[in-house]
Structure 1
Amino acid sequence: MRERFWEIDFSRGIAIILMVAFNYLFALQYFHIYQTGGGWLFWWLFPRIVASMFIMLAGVSIAISFSKRKDYRKHFFVRGVKIFCLGLVITAVTWLLFPEETIFFGILHMIGAGIIISIFFVRFRVLNLLIGAVLISAGFFVERLTTNNLWFLWVGIAPENFHTFDYFPLLPWLGMMLIGIFAGNTLYKKGKRTFEIRKTSLSKNMCFLGRHSLVIYMLHQVLLVLVLYAVGYIIL
């Protein structure tokens, strides 16, 4: 079994708890079951902070995996395709139940595509930091552009008045992943931790959540959508 670094699983565990909690509150508000309140800091900034945690941790994991695998190209391609396909499942479910809010390119699509693209960048170190910063900056420019179709959603160009439950295009989010790869190559040189850190009393449970974050994410998405759709339908 390949060595796992508990602090990465721990951080991912925190992120999945925050994401599930946010999505739950969002669903309550969306169906007018309970008005949770909250302003710009909560509804816009908070989910992006949590998503940044996931995406950067994915980048760190990519760097560590690269240092330990000779078959990293095949591994990244297969892993990326699997995660992207899970994103397509979310697309199908939301298209069936919420056609006006369909998730065409959400966080799973982005992470899946990003893992595949990382094959060409994972060897870089400081250059990833620079490219990542450029892509993030480009994202702020691209989001102002509009188009009359959905074919450029993946890059960050959406139609006017575009609505979706979840949208994480490659610009700027691939930049976050590349910065995560830079961090992984810096903090875990040759797959070994370059710093010391002590486990906390919460490590075991939180690491469990982190190790199974993808399964938890998929289950909570499907269950949340189905249950709250039923509840919302009854109320409405």
Structure 2
Amino acid sequence: MRTVLTAPRSTSSSGTPRFDRLDALRGAALVWMAVFHFCFDLAHRGLIEANFYRDAVWTGQRTVILTLFLCCAGAGQAIASAQGQSWGRFWRRWAQVAGCAVLVSAGSYLMFPRSYIYFGVLHGMAVMLIIARLSAPLGRWLWLLGLGAVLLPQYAAHPVFDQRALHWVGLVTHKPITEDYVPVLPWLGVMWWALAATQWLLARHPHWLASSHSPGVPQRGLTWLGQWSLTFYMLHQPLLIGALELGWWLTHRA
């Protein structure tokens, strides 16, 4: 597939061009996620009443936030492939994601031993990134593959996948008891669609992914945040929970 890259206004530390609108979108998703998680922490502490497991107001937000993250990940793989990213650099970044997934499991086990996260967003992303990297050359076929991935859980769910060792596939007949669950199916379909859409943009309208003028302070802030997404993801909950507990202690100490 013919790909044309127009150099954006900024470059990464490795010298490859970045697309600041994609970084800003990722940053906006991070801000939304942080607000969502802070509300969850308030509910968990009993400071607000909210059902994050059944109420469509909260489950719907989770779906949108997760969709944004996977779209940004798929778009990132399209850009990395177009820029000729080496497998060595891919595996270094992948190891960071996988390592953080292990830390999330450990940390969630301390807080929720009966419903800890064993295949959440980072676990799912670690698997899906490998699949996306290998399938990137398929081009327009990714649209059809994505449709199949999204529809398959609706028609191929089977009790054999209800055992924990196979939960990661996504063909379960009922949702496992865990604080975060992002199986490969159907979410790989979202990443495939984002990968295909970004390949199309890079070939025809690469300037849509980069600002043509100097962005304002809000966009620059979101862009910077989007460039440090994994760090923010790992630090935001410990900081939010710590601040909440400190505020609770100070209030009741008085």
Length-normalised TM-score, structure 1: 0.86
Residue in 1 that maps onto 2:221: 205
Is the contact between residue 147 and residue 189 of structure 2 (CA under 8 Å) also seen in structure 1?
yes
> 2 CA distance for matches of 1:80 and 1:212?
15
**Cα gap change, 1:15 to 1:143, in 2 (>3 Å):** farther
C-alpha offsets along residues 39-68 of structure 1, whole Å, 9 cap, x if unaligned? 733221111111101101110110111111
Is the contact between residue 150 and residue 190 of structure 2 (CA under 8 Å) also seen in structure 1?
yes
- The percent of aligned pairs where both chains have the same amino acid is 25
Q: In the alignment, residue 175 of structure 1 is paired with which amino acid?
A: G
- For 1:78, what is the secondary structure of its paired residue? helix
> 2 CA distance for matches of 1:82 and 1:151?
23
- For 1:152, what is the secondary structure of its paired residue? helix
C-alpha offsets along residues 91-133 of structure 1, whole Å, 9 cap, x if unaligned? 0111122111200111111111111122320112111111011
Name which of 100, 122, 139 aligns with 2:153: 139
> 2 CA distance for matches of 1:105 and 1:74?
25
Is the contact between residue 108 and residue 116 of structure 2 (CA under 8 Å) also seen in structure 1?
yes
Q: In the alignment, residue 77 of structure 2 is paired with which amino acid?
A: I
C-alpha displacement at 1:230, in angstroms? 8.2
The gaps in structure 2 that reach 5 residues or longer are 1-14
C-alpha displacement at 1:147, in angstroms? 5.2
Q: In the alignment, residue 130 of structure 1 is paired with which amino acid?
A: L
> 2 CA distance for matches of 1:172 and 1:138?
7
Residue in 1 that maps onto 2:4: none
Is the contact between residue 80 and residue 114 of structure 1 (CA under 8 Å) also seen in structure 2?
no
Q: Does 1:57 align with 2:57?
A: no
C-alpha offsets along residues 145-172 of structure 1, whole Å, 9 cap, x if unaligned? 4756310121124586732211100001
> 2 CA distance for matches of 1:162 and 1:130?
28
**Cα gap change, 1:144 to 1:31, in 2 (>3 Å):** farther
Name which of 80, 87, 90 aligns with 1:76: 90
Is the contact between residue 83 and residue 112 of structure 1 (CA under 8 Å) also seen in structure 2?
yes
Q: How many residue pairs end up in the alignment?
A: 233
Is the contact between residue 77 and residue 133 of structure 2 (CA under 8 Å) also seen in structure 1?
no
Is the contact between residue 18 and residue 50 of structure 1 (CA under 8 Å) also seen in structure 2?
yes
Q: Does 1:48 align with 2:32?
A: no
Q: Does 1:102 align with 2:116?
A: yes
C-alpha displacement at 1:221, in angstroms? 2.6
Is the contact between residue 33 and residue 232 of structure 1 (CA under 8 Å) also seen in structure 2?
no
Higher mean displacement: 90-99 or 135-144: 135-144
Structure of greater Rg: 2
Residue in 2 that maps onto 1:155: 169
The gaps in structure 1 that reach 5 residues or longer are none
C-alpha displacement at 1:26, in angstroms? 1.2
Name which of 101, 115, 127 aligns with 2:141: 127
